[in-house]
Amino acid sequence: MTLSASPSPASTRPSLPTRRFGLTDMHFTRVGLGTWAMGGLGPKMTWGDADDRASVATVLRAVELGINWVDTAAFYGWGHSEEVLGAAIAQLPEAERPYISTKCGLRWGLAERTVRVGTPASIRWELDESLMRLGVEQIDVYYVHWPPEDATPIEEYWGELVDLRRRGKIRAAGLSNHTLAQVEAAEAVGHVDTLQPPFSAIDRDAAQDLIPWCLEHEAAVVNYAPMQNGLLTGTFSEQRVHRLADNDWRKTHANFTGDNLARNVALAEAMRPIADKHATSVGSVAVAWTLAVPGVTAAIFGARQPAQVDSLVAAAGLELDYEDLAAIASAIETTGAGHGPIFRPVPPQAGTAGGGGGVPVVRR
């Protein structure tokens, strides 16, 4: 795939805040680019058509603005997202390329449906396919996308990732969409470098157990959907949902319909005064809220247009203060949006520094 754009020289790129990635020697910027929507048509859960040239330009814009990692998966567009990302990074000198995270465990075209597969042989084959599509020799972070449904024990599929890490085919190994019990079983086989759970001001369940576990075991947390698939961007309404393409999976999802939609939109609107205060976007506030939770290393935001990166990269350095976090906690409670623990900031005089912006937060 040959799709050209013009990356900026490294010397002109801004420096964004980073966090150490678990126990590895990598340091990730606090936000990274997600490429699910760049996959375009293919699997059932699609975001509609994608413009590959715009997608490549989006990756290059993210790097230009200082973002140093990009997240993808073999499943996104049935390999197409990886191909687009490969085309983008091919335009960058090797020393300037971002870290790449991708995932295995979802096979398409099997029995005319997508199947969650965990056999070691499948994982090795999938890794080789991803390396080819991305045009790289090593994957920085490799996740098992979902727990397998083919009866492969976690000791086998996680053991394969541990072996791939030992052999240098991947730098770090992680689990996405796994339960705490599964994570603990994997840890008994070999260290879990990172987890990738969904986590936002709407979906707060990971804060119940997974994020505290990572904090205790020095594993990186890279949360996805911090803006809840667009709901917390401040741009959604019932009318916009109706305008979504028929092949956009969000159109019929429970979060985007009925009372749930109304509550979620109300929560986003409650973040608008905070965004205005910091001269940023509602989406940036939503992302920064997740980064204020102790144990969260970095957050993924999805984009497929360069302008979307421009509006969200500010979240990497946005530090919400006590009043901001208190207002969001109150809005979650008042609107009844979402599920999971509500994080409340500790008044400045009552605690020591911690969490986002030096403000300690506690689950209640």
Q: Where are the domains of the chain?
A: 1-41+50-196, 224-364
What per-residue confidence (pLDDT) applies to 353?
A: 43
pLDDT tens digits, one per residue of 141-171: 999 999 999 999 999 999 999 999 999 999 9
For the cut 50, the answer to whether the pLDDT of residue 102 exceeds it is yes
Determine which helix (DSSP H) or strand (DSSP E) holds 300, and give its type and residue range. strand 298-302
What per-residue confidence (pLDDT) applies to 82?
A: 96
**Stretch among 27-36, 272-281, 355-364 having the lowest mean pLDDT:** 355-364
What confidence tier does 354 reach under pLDDT thresholds 50, 70, 90?
A: very low
What per-residue confidence (pLDDT) applies to 356?
A: 41
In CATH, the number for domain 224-364 is 3.20.20.100
Average pLDDT of the residues in 181-207 = 97
Amino acid identity for residue 231 in this structure: L
Average pLDDT of the residues in 165-179 = 98
Longest C-alpha distance within the chain, in Å?
61
Tokens for 355? 């969490």
What per-residue confidence (pLDDT) applies to 147?
A: 98
Domain 1-41+50-196 top-level CATH class: alpha beta
d(CA 311, CA 314): 7
Do 224-364 and 1-41+50-196 have the same topology in CATH? Answer: yes
What confidence tier does 223 reach under pLDDT thresholds 50, 70, 90?
A: very high
The separation between CA 25 and the C-alpha centre of its own chain, rounded to angstroms, equals 20
Average pLDDT of the residues in 160-184 = 98
Contacts of 52 (CB under 8 A, 6+ apart): 1, 3, 38, 40, 84, 87
Q: How far is CA 113 from CA 44, 55, 116, 193, in A?
A: 9, 27, 10, 31
Higher pLDDT, residue 290 or 245: 290
**DSSP state, residue 348:** G
For the cut 60, the answer to whether the pLDDT of residue 267 exceeds it is yes
For the cut 50, the answer to whether the pLDDT of residue 93 exceeds it is yes
d(CA 88, CA 67): 14
For the cut 80, the answer to whether the pLDDT of residue 253 exceeds it is no
Amino acid identity for residue 162 in this structure: V
User: 275 phi and psi, to 5 degrees?
Assistant: -60, -45
What per-residue confidence (pLDDT) applies to 217?
A: 98
What per-residue confidence (pLDDT) applies to 47?
A: 47
Instruction: Please give the full DSSP string across 50-114, using - where no structure is assigned.
Output: --HHHHHHHHHHHHHTT--EEE--TTTTTTHHHHHHHHHHTTS-GGGPPEEEEEE-EEEEETTEE
What per-residue confidence (pLDDT) applies to 324?
A: 96
What per-residue confidence (pLDDT) applies to 201?
A: 97
Work out the burial of residue 156: count CB atoms within 10 Å of its CB; fewer than 13 is exposed, 13-18 middle, 19 or more buried: middle
What confidence tier does 49 reach under pLDDT thresholds 50, 70, 90?
A: low
What per-residue confidence (pLDDT) applies to 114?
A: 78
Contacts of 156 (CB under 8 A, 6+ apart): 118, 119, 120
Higher pLDDT, residue 284 or 4: 284
Q: Which bin fits 252, alpha (ψ -120 to 50), beta or left (φ > 0)?
A: alpha
User: 230 phi and psi, to 5 degrees?
Assistant: 105, -15
Which one, of 214, 126, 231, lies nearest residue 178 by Cα? 214
What per-residue confidence (pLDDT) applies to 251?
A: 72
